[in-house]
Structure 1
Amino acid sequence: MWKRKGKGDKLVLLTLYFLTFFNFISTDEHNHMYAENEEVVVWMNTVGPLHNRQETYPYFQLPFCQGPHILQHHHETLGEALKGMDLESSGIPIKFLETQNHATYCTKTLNAEDIDVLRYAIDNQYWYTMFIDDLPVSGIVGKSEDDNENSNESITEEEQAKDPHFKPIYVYTHKSFTFEYNKNQIISVSLQHADPVELVYNQRSLDLTFTYSVDWNPTDTAFEDRFDKLLEADFFEHKVHWLSIFSSFMMVLFLTGLVSVILLRTVKRDFTRYDREEGLDFDRDLGDEYGWKQVHGDVFRQPPHLMLLSALMGTGSQLVILAIVIILYTILGDLYVERATILTATIFIYAVTSVVAGYTSSRYYAKYGGKDWIKTAIMTAGLWPGAVAIIGGFINTLAIYYSSSRAISFLNLLSMIALWLFICVPLTLLGTLIGRNWKKPSGSGGSSGGSNNQAAVDFPCRVNPIPRPIPEKMWYAEPLVIVALGGILPFGSIFIEIYFIFTSFWTYKIYYVYGFMFLVFSILLIVCACVAIVSTYFLLNSEDHRWHWVSFMTCASTAAYIYLYSIYYYVAKTKMTGMFQTSFYFGYTALLSFGMFCMLGYVGHTAATKFVRKIYQNVKID
Structure 2
Amino acid sequence: MYLSFCLFIKIRFSFWKAAAILPGHLYYNFVCQFEFKKPVVCGKVCMRTYSTNNPSDKAKLDFLKKGMLLNYQHHWIVDNMPVTWCYDVEDGQKFCNPGFPIGCFVTEAGRSKDACIVNSNFNEKDAFYIFNHVDITIYYHIVEHEQLGARLVAAKIEPKSYENPNDDKPDCSGGPKFLKNKHTGEFKITYTYSVNFAEDKKIRWASRWDYILESMPHTNIQWFSIMNSLVIVLFLSGMVAMIMLRTLHKDIARYNQMDSVEDAQEEFGWKLVHGDVFRPPKKGMLLSVFLGSGTQIFIMTFVTLFFACLGFLSPANRGALMTCAVVLWVLLGTPAGYVAARLYKSFGGEKWKTNVLLTAFLCPGVVFADFFVMNLILWGEGSSAAMPFGTLVAILALWFCISVPLTFIGAYFGFKKTGIEYPVRTNQIPRQIPEQSFYTKPFPGIIMGGILPFGCIFIQLFFILNSIWSHQMYYMFGFLFLVFIILVITCSEATILLCYFHLCAEDYHWQWRSFLTSGFTAVYFLVYAIHYFFSKLQITGLASIILYYGYTMIMVLIFFLFTGTIGFFACFWFVTKIYSVVKVD
Mark yes or no: TM-score above 0.5. yes
* 2:377 paired residue among 382, 389, 398: 398
The answer as to 2:100 corresponding to 1:139 is yes
Which position in structure 2 is the counterpart of 1:619? Answer: 582
* 1:434 paired residue among 385, 410, 413: 413
* 1:487 paired residue among 450, 471, 475: 450
* 2:470 paired residue among 501, 507, 519: 507
| TM-score for both structures, normalised by structure 1 | 0.80
Give distance in 2, aligned partners of 1:153 and 1:349.
Answer: 54
Which position in structure 1 is the counterpart of 2:540? Answer: 577
In structure 2, the gaps of 5 or more residues are 5-10, 84-98, 143-149, 163-175
Q: Structure 1 residues 214 and 305, CA, compared in 2 at 3 Å: closer, same or farther?
A: same
* 2:237 paired residue among 256, 268, 281: 256
Q: Structure 1 residues 111 and 574, CA, compared in 2 at 3 Å: closer, same or farther?
A: same
Question: How far does residue 168 in structure 1 lie from its aligned partner after superposition?
Answer: 3.0
Give distance in 1, aligned partners of 2:548 and 2:204.
Answer: 37
Question: How far does residue 131 in structure 1 lie from its aligned partner after superposition?
Answer: 0.9
| Per-residue Cα deviation, 1:174-210 (whole angstroms, up to 9, x for no partner) | 2211111012111111112232534465655445432
* 2:284 paired residue among 306, 319, 332: 306
Confirm or deny: 8 A CA contact 1:298 1:464 kept in the other structure: yes
The answer as to 2:300 corresponding to 1:322 is yes
Q: Secondary structure at the match of 1:462?
A: coil
Which position in structure 2 is the counterpart of 1:121? Answer: 67
Matches within 5 A, 1:524-539: 524-539=487-502
The answer as to 2:178 corresponding to 1:178 is no
| Per-residue Cα deviation, 1:78-125 (whole angstroms, up to 9, x for no partner) | xxxxx6421111211211111111122334444541434323332332
Question: How far does residue 303 in structure 1 lie from its aligned partner after superposition?
Answer: 0.7
Q: Structure 1 residues 190 and 214, CA, compared in 2 at 3 Å: closer, same or farther?
A: same
* 2:249 paired residue among 265, 268, 271: 268
Confirm or deny: 8 A CA contact 1:291 1:540 kept in the other structure: yes
User: What RMSD over aligned residues (CA atoms) do the two structures have, in Å?
Assistant: 2.4
Confirm or deny: 8 A CA contact 1:173 1:210 kept in the other structure: yes
In structure 1, the gaps of 5 or more residues are 1-40, 57-82, 156-166, 442-456
Question: How far does residue 355 in structure 1 lie from its aligned partner after superposition?
Answer: 1.3
Confirm or deny: 8 A CA contact 1:46 1:85 kept in the other structure: no
Confirm or deny: 8 A CA contact 2:331 2:406 kept in the other structure: yes
Give distance in 1, aligned partners of 2:362 and 2:233.
Answer: 31
Question: How far does residue 235 in structure 1 lie from its aligned partner after superposition?
Answer: 2.5
Which position in structure 1 is the counterpart of 2:329? Answer: 350
Confirm or deny: 8 A CA contact 1:315 1:383 kept in the other structure: no
Confirm or deny: 8 A CA contact 1:559 1:596 kept in the other structure: yes
| Per-residue Cα deviation, 1:27-71 (whole angstroms, up to 9, x for no partner) | xxxxxxxxxxxxxx5566864567355556xxxxxxxxxxxxxxx
Which position in structure 2 is the counterpart of 1:10? Answer: none
Q: Which amino acid aligns with 2:131?
A: Y
Q: Which amino acid aligns with 1:350?
A: W
Which position in structure 2 is the counterpart of 1:31? Answer: none
Greater Cα offset, 497-506 or 553-562: 497-506
Give distance in 1, aligned partners of 2:217 and 2:15.
Answer: 23
Q: Which amino acid aligns with 1:185?
A: R
Give distance in 2, aligned partners of 1:97 and 1:151.
Answer: 32
The answer as to 2:383 corresponding to 1:420 is no
| TM-score for both structures, normalised by structure 2 | 0.84
Which position in structure 2 is the counterpart of 1:227? Answer: 209
Question: How far does residue 397 in structure 1 lie from its aligned partner after superposition?
Answer: 2.8
Which position in structure 1 is the counterpart of 2:42? Answer: 102
Confirm or deny: 8 A CA contact 1:177 1:214 kept in the other structure: yes
* 1:565 paired residue among 518, 528, 551: 528
Matches within 5 A, 1:404-483: 404-438=383-417, 440-441=418-419, 457-483=420-446
Give distance in 2, aligned partners of 1:395 and 1:54.
Answer: 15
Question: How far does residue 511 in structure 1 lie from its aligned partner after superposition?
Answer: 0.8
Give distance in 2, aligned partners of 1:42 and 1:303.
Answer: 56
Q: Secondary structure at the match of 1:543?
A: coil
Matches within 5 A, 1:361-372: 361-372=340-351
| Per-residue Cα deviation, 1:271-314 (whole angstroms, up to 9, x for no partner) | 23323432x45xx8954321111111111111111111001111
Give distance in 2, aligned partners of 1:169 and 1:621.
Answer: 80
Q: Secondary structure at the match of 2:76?
A: strand
Question: How far does residue 609 in structure 1 lie from its aligned partner after superposition?
Answer: 0.7
Question: How far does residue 253 in structure 1 lie from its aligned partner after superposition?
Answer: 2.0
Which position in structure 2 is the counterpart of 1:236? Answer: 218
Q: State the identity %.
A: 33
Question: How far does residue 219 in structure 1 lie from its aligned partner after superposition?
Answer: 0.6
Residue correspondences, number: 525
Give distance in 2, aligned partners of 1:588 and 1:241.
Answer: 25
Question: How far does residue 620 in structure 1 lie from its aligned partner after superposition?
Answer: 1.1
Question: How far does residue 395 in structure 1 lie from its aligned partner after superposition?
Answer: 1.8
